[in-house]
Structure 1
Amino acid sequence: MIPQDHPTAPQVRPRRQRATPVSRPPALIVLALCIATGAGSMQQSAVLPLLSRLQSSLHTTLTGATWAFTASLLCGAIATPLVSRFGTMYGRRLLLLITLVLLAIGSVAGGLATSLPLFIIARVLQGVSVAALPLAIGAVRELLPPARTASGIGVLSATMGTGVGLGFMISGLVAHYTSGYRAVFWISAAVAVIAIVLVAVAVHDLTPPVGGKPDILGAALLAAPLVCLLLAISQGRAWGWSSGPVLGLLAASVVLGASWVVVERRAADPLIAIGLVTHPATIGASLISALLSFALFSGFTLLPNFTETPTAAGYGFEASVLQAALYLLPTSLLMLILSLVVGRFLRRFSAATVVAAGAAIATLPELWLLVRHDRPADIYIAATLLGLGIGLAFPALGTLAIEHVNPAETAVASAVNSIARFVGGGVAGAVSGAVLSADTIKGSRLPTVHAYEVMFTIAACCVAAAAVIAGISGLMGRTATSRHDRAAG
C-alpha cells in the first residue's frame, strides 16, 4: 500500500463540510425569500401600465419607453444563470444580498432619472433581481426540513405570478393617485431594503461556497444567444418580423447557442452542465414552464387592454388602470393562497400530476373568454379560473424542475427553468402585440374583438399542451419507478 503522503499517492479531495446550522424559523426563512423574489417580479410589470407617462416625462417615443421593460427582461435573462452559478461558488446568501442591493440602487436611480439612457441603466440594475428566484429555491432546499421543502418551493415559485400581479396593482394605485410614475420606484426601493434586512437576518449558507474559476467564455456564449432571441422577440413587432435585423438576431441566437453547447461540453467546470439541460425531465419542465408562462403573461397583457377599451369599440368597459388591475386581483390572490397548500398535494401526488391538473384547469378561463366576455363578471370568472390553474401548476412546477437533480445543482436547474419562463413571457407579449395590431377596427388603432378571441384560442392551446406534456412526464416517472422497484425486488 502506498502511504498517503507519498508523492505518487492519489490525492483525495477534501469533502465540503457543512457549517454548523444556525436555527431560524422556517416561516421566517420563507418570508424573507418570498419578499426578495417578489420584489424582483414586481419591478418587471410595474412600469408597463405607465409607459405613456414615461414617454412624456423622459421626452422619448413609445418605442423608447418600451425599452424600460425590455432592458429589465434582457438583463434578468442574462443574470439568472450567472448569478445562480455564482451562488454555488461564492454563497447564495451573498449573491442574494448583492441582487437586492442592485435592485435598491436601480430603484432609486429610476426614481431620480431625467433621461432615457439613465433610466434604462436603472432598469438594467433592477433586472438583476430576477435572479433571486433560483437562489431562493436553492436556499429553501438546503435550509428547510424535508417535510417543509415542497411547500417552501411552491410558495417561492408562485411569487413570480403574484409579484407581477402586485406590480400591476401598485402601478394602478400610482396612476390613480399621482400624475407621474416615480412613486413606483420609491415603493420598489422600500421593498428592496426590507428584503435586504430580512435576508441578512434569516438566510445563511449551511454548505460552504466551493469557490473556483468562473466560466467566463461559457457565460458570454450563453448571454449572447439569450440577448439575440429575446431582443428579436421583444422588438419583432416594431422592426417587422420578416425584417433583416429580426431574422439576423434569430439566426445568430441559433448559431451562438450551438457554439455554447460545444464549448460547455469541453469545459472542465461548465457554467451549466449540458447533461442537466438535455435531461428529459429538464426539457419537459422547461417546455411546460414556457407554455404556462405564455398563458399567464398573455392574460396579464390581454385582460387590462380588453377592459380598458372604450365601450364604443363594441366591447370593453372603459376601465382605468387601477380598475384593470383589480380585474387581475383574483389571479394574484389565488396563486398566493394555493402556493401555501400545494405542498400537501405533493405528499400524495407526483409533481407532474399536480402540474397536469393545474394546466388542465388553466385551459378553462381561455375557453370561457372565447365564448363569454360581455360583462365584467366574465373577466372576474376567467381571472379566478386562471388563478386556480396557474396557482396549482406553478408551485408544483418548481419541484418538477429540480426533483431529478442533486441539491448542489438546484439553483442552476431552477435557473434553466426561469429562462424558459422568460422566453414564454416574452413570446406572449410579442404574439399578443402582433395579433392585436394586425386585426384592428376600421379607422382606429383598437383591436377587434376577433383579435382577442384568436389570442384566447392560442393561450388555450398552450396550456392544453402543457397539461399533455406534464401528463406524459407523470406516466414516464411512474414507469421508471415501477422498473426500479422490480429491479430492487
Structure 2
Amino acid sequence: MDTSQRSAHPSGVVATLAFAGTVAAVMQTLVTPLIAELPQILHTTPSNAAWVITVTLLVSAVCVPVSGRLGDMVGKRRMLLVCSVPLVAGSVVCALASSVVPMIVGRGLQGMGMGMVPLGIALLRDVVPAEKLSSSIALVSASMGIGGGLGLPIAAAVAQYADWRVLFWGAAVLALVVSALIWFLVPDVPATARGQRFDLPGALGLGVGLVCLLLAVSKGADWGWASGTTIGLFTAAVVVLAGWGFWEVRTKDPLVDLRTTARPRVLFTNLASVFVGFGMYASMLIVPQLLQFPKATGYGLGQSMLAAGLWMAPGGIMMMIVSPFGGKLTNARGPKFTLISGVLVIAAGYGLSLALMGSAWGLMLVTMVTSSGVGLAYGAMPALIMSSIPPAETAAANGFNTLMRSLGTSIGAAVIGTVLSQMTTTMGGHAFASESGFRTGLLIGLGVALIAAAIAAVIPAVRGAAGSERDAPSPEREAVAAEG
C-alpha cells in the first residue's frame, strides 16, 4: 500500500467519512416525526404512506452491496461521489413532492446513497495509518447510529416549528456539503479490483431475492403472516437466493465472494451482525413509544415527539464518545473482544430497561447504555471483516456486512412490531400496546443480545507471527488473510 496514500490528511478523511455516514443515517430518520401526518400531507392512505419508509429500506438493501463491489472495481472515492448524487436528488424530489408517488421516488433515491458508510469504512484501509485504523473504523462505522440518535430530535424540532419541506431542503444542503468535502479532502486511491467484470446477473439475483425477503419481513404483519402474498414472497426469496448462491460460487468475478464469506471468521461476524442489528433496533422501537404513550395508561410518560427525541439524544452522543474508545480497545485486545464487550453492554442496557422503564430519566440512561454497546459492536465488526479478507474485496465485504445489519433491523422491527400489536390493552376505545407487551419486547432484545455474544465468542482469532492470538486489523494480518 502506498505510504503517501495512508498519510494524506487522515484526520480530514476520517472526519469527512464520519460526517457522510451521519448524514446518510439522518436521511433514514428524517421522516420519523412525520409518520402520523404523512397520509394527510400526501393525500393518501396510511398503508400507501408506509411505503415512504419501506422503499428506503428496500432500495438501500439492494444498492449497498452493489456500491461496495463497484467501489472495489472503479474506486471508492468515485463511488462515494456517485452515492452523493441520489442523496441530493432524492432530497430535492421529496421537498417538492405534494403526493405519495414522487415522495416514494425521492425516498428511493435517498436509499441509493446509503452505500456511503461501507465504502467509507473500506477506504480507511487505504488512507489511514495503521496505528489509527481501528479507532477510525470504529468512528465511521458508528456514524450510522450517531446520525440516527441525533437526527431524530433535530428532525422533530424542525417538523414541529417549521414547514415539513424544510427537512428535505436541509437534507439536500447536507448532502451537497458531503459531496464537496469528499471532493476536496478524500484522496483518490487506485481501485483494488480494477479490470474485473461486474457481476450483473449476481446483482439482479441478489436484488430480487432481497426485495422478496424484506417485503415479506416488513409488510408481513400488515398483509398477514399466513397470507398467500407473504408466504409467496418468502418462498420466492428462498428460491431466488439459493439460485443466486449457486451462481456466485461458479462465476469468475462474483458480486460477493461466498467462499470468502464462508470463512468462519467472516461467517460468524456476519451472523452476529444480524443479531446486533436486531438488538439495536428493538430498543429504538420500544423506547420512543414508552416516552410518548399517554400517562393515563399507567406506564406511558406522555412526552411529545420533540421531548422524546431530546431524551434519546444523549444516546447518540454516547455513541460518539465511546467509538474512539472502542478503537483503542480493539488495538489492545482485538475486535473480537470489543464485539463481545459491545453486545454484553447492549444486554446490560436491556436488563436496566426492565427496571427503569417507568421514568424518562431511566429510559435516557437505558438509551445511553445501549447506544454505548452499539458503538463498540458496530466499530468492531468491520475490523473483524477487514482482517479476514483480501484488499480487492474490502468494500464489497463491508457492504455485505452492512446488509446483514440492515437485515437484523428489519427482522427486529417485524418481530417487535408483531409482539406489540398482539399484546394490547384498550383504553377510551383505543387499543394500545400493553405494558407486558413492552416488557416482552425488552426481554426479546436482551435474549438477542446474549445470542449475539455467544456467536461472537466462537469467532476464531487470527494467530500472529509470535504464536499469540490477536485479531486486530493490521497490514501484516491483512496480508495473511489475503493469502488465506
Match of 1:9 in 2: none
1:194 aligns with 2:180: no
Q: How does 1:39-438 map to 2 (within 5 A)?
A: 39-178=23-162, 180-208=163-191, 210-438=194-422
* Structure 1 residue 484 displacement after superposition: 5.7
> Which deviations, in whole Å up to 9, do the C-alpha atoms of 1:307-356 show, x marking residues without a partner?
10001111111111111111211211111111122221112101111110
Question: Which residue identity is paired with 2:302?
Answer: E
> Which deviations, in whole Å up to 9, do the C-alpha atoms of 1:143-189 show, x marking residues without a partner?
111111111111111011111112212221123213x4222211211
> Which deviations, in whole Å up to 9, do the C-alpha atoms of 1:342-374 show, x marking residues without a partner?
221112101111110111111112112223321
Question: Which residue identity is paired with 2:182?
Answer: V
Match of 2:473 in 1: none
Question: Which residue identity is paired with 2:435?
Answer: V
Question: Which residue identity is paired with 2:39?
Answer: Q
Q: Distance in 2 between matches of 1:237 and 1:422?
A: 18
> Which deviations, in whole Å up to 9, do the C-alpha atoms of 1:65-112 show, x marking residues without a partner?
111111000000000111111111111111110111110010011010
In our comparison, the structure showing a higher alpha carbon Rg is 1
Question: Which residue identity is paired with 1:193?
Answer: L
Q: Distance in 2 between matches of 1:40 and 1:285?
A: 23
Query: Which of 5, 24, 37 in structure 1 is aligned with 2:8?
Result: 24
Q: 1:387 to 1:29 in 2, by over 3 A?
A: same
Q: Distance in 2 between matches of 1:438 and 1:339?
A: 37
Q: 1:246 to 1:344 in 2, by over 3 A?
A: same
Secondary structure, in 3 states, of the residue corresponding to 2:425?
coil
Q: Distance in 2 between matches of 1:58 and 1:19?
A: 53
Secondary structure, in 3 states, of the residue corresponding to 1:95?
helix
Match of 1:36 in 2: 20
| Larger deviation, residues 161-170 vs 237-246 | 161-170
Q: Distance in 2 between matches of 1:149 and 1:392?
A: 15
| Larger deviation, residues 243-252 vs 44-53 | 44-53
* Structure 1 residue 207 displacement after superposition: 1.8
Q: Distance in 1 between matches of 2:335 and 2:116?
A: 23
Structure 1: gaps spanning 5 or more residues = 1-16
* Structure 1 residue 23 displacement after superposition: 5.9
* Structure 1 residue 19 displacement after superposition: 11
Q: Distance in 2 between matches of 1:54 and 1:444?
A: 21
C-alpha RMSD of the superposition = 1.9
Match of 1:458 in 2: 444
Q: 1:23 to 1:398 in 2, by over 3 A?
A: closer
Decide whether the 8 Å contact of 1:37 with 1:129 is kept in 2. no
Question: Which residue identity is paired with 1:82?
Answer: V
Decide whether the 8 Å contact of 2:68 with 2:119 is kept in 1. yes
Q: Distance in 2 between matches of 1:64 and 1:110?
A: 15
Q: 1:240 to 1:275 in 2, by over 3 A?
A: same
> Which deviations, in whole Å up to 9, do the C-alpha atoms of 1:260-279 show, x marking residues without a partner?
01111221111111112212
* Structure 1 residue 252 displacement after superposition: 0.9
* Structure 1 residue 482 displacement after superposition: 9.2
Secondary structure, in 3 states, of the residue corresponding to 1:441?
strand
* Structure 1 residue 60 displacement after superposition: 1.1
TM-score (norm: length of structure 2): 0.93
Match of 1:468 in 2: 454
Decide whether the 8 Å contact of 1:437 with 1:445 is kept in 2. no
Q: Distance in 1 between matches of 2:82 and 2:464?
A: 41
Q: Distance in 2 between matches of 1:22 and 1:289?
A: 28
* Structure 1 residue 20 displacement after superposition: 7.0
Matched residue count: 466
* Structure 1 residue 200 displacement after superposition: 0.3
| Larger deviation, residues 188-197 vs 168-177 | 168-177
Question: Which residue identity is paired with 1:226?
Answer: L
Q: Distance in 1 between matches of 2:157 and 2:260?
A: 43
* Structure 1 residue 423 displacement after superposition: 0.5
Question: Which residue identity is paired with 2:433?
Answer: P
Decide whether the 8 Å contact of 1:338 with 1:391 is kept in 2. yes
* Structure 1 residue 398 displacement after superposition: 2.1
Q: Distance in 2 between matches of 1:94 and 1:155?
A: 22
Q: Distance in 2 between matches of 1:365 and 1:137?
A: 27
Q: Distance in 2 between matches of 1:433 and 1:385?
A: 23
Identical counterparts, % of pairs? 32
Secondary structure, in 3 states, of the residue corresponding to 1:401?
helix
Structure 2: gaps spanning 5 or more residues = 470-484
Decide whether the 8 Å contact of 1:37 with 1:133 is kept in 2. yes
Decide whether the 8 Å contact of 1:42 with 1:163 is kept in 2. yes
Q: 1:310 to 1:280 in 2, by over 3 A?
A: same
* Structure 1 residue 459 displacement after superposition: 0.2
Secondary structure, in 3 states, of the residue corresponding to 2:254?
coil
Decide whether the 8 Å contact of 2:87 with 2:172 is kept in 1. yes
Q: Distance in 1 between matches of 2:444 and 2:122?
A: 34
Match of 1:10 in 2: none
Question: Which residue identity is paired with 2:268?
Answer: G
Match of 1:4 in 2: none
